[in-house]
């Protein structure tokens, strides 16, 4: 389980060196830090037009307020998502 911050293309840019790119499957791209290997982002053709950045890789992820739980059907049994946010299965919300 992870937390992504989805940002529409055209509303973000790399400010330093571009991370490495790995195509983990025919329709999925993942980026990673070329120095330490930490994951940076995820992009799927099923959710085209949006880059999903790992919150754990951000310097200040608290500035982004959550708006939806996606792939809610895959949550861990102990994760409490009773916070009033909408819940969506898989990528169909886009």
What are 61-71's pLDDT values in tens digits?
999 888 888 88
* Domain extent for 34: 4-93
pTM beyond 0.75: yes
- 34 φ/ψ sector (left φ>0, alpha ψ -120 to 50, else beta): alpha
Q: Is 21 helix (H, G, I), strand (E, B) or coil?
A: strand
The total of structural domains in the chain comes to: 1
Task: State how far the alpha carbon of 28 is from the alpha carbons of 42, 46, 54, 61, 62, in Å.
Answer: 7, 9, 15, 23, 27
Give the pLDDT band (50/70/90) at residue 92: low
Tell me the three state secondary structure of residue 66: coil
What rounded mean pLDDT belongs to the chain? Answer: 88
Please check the confidence at residue 94 and state whether its pLDDT lies above 60: no
Interval 51-69 mean pLDDT: 90
Per-residue pLDDT at 76 = 87
């Amino acid at each position: 389980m992870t937390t992504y911050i989805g940002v529409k293309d055209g509303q973000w840019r790399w400010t330093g060196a571009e991370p490495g790119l790995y195509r983990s499957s025919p329709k999925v791209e993942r980026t990673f830090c070329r120095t330490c290997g930490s994951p940076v982002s995820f992009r799927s053709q099923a959710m085209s037009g949006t880059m999903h950045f790992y919150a754990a890789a951000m310097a200040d992820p608290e500035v982004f307020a959550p708006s939806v739980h996606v792939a809610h059907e895959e949550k861990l049994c102990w994760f409490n998502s009773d916070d009033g946010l909408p819940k969506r299965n898989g990528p169909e919300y886009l």
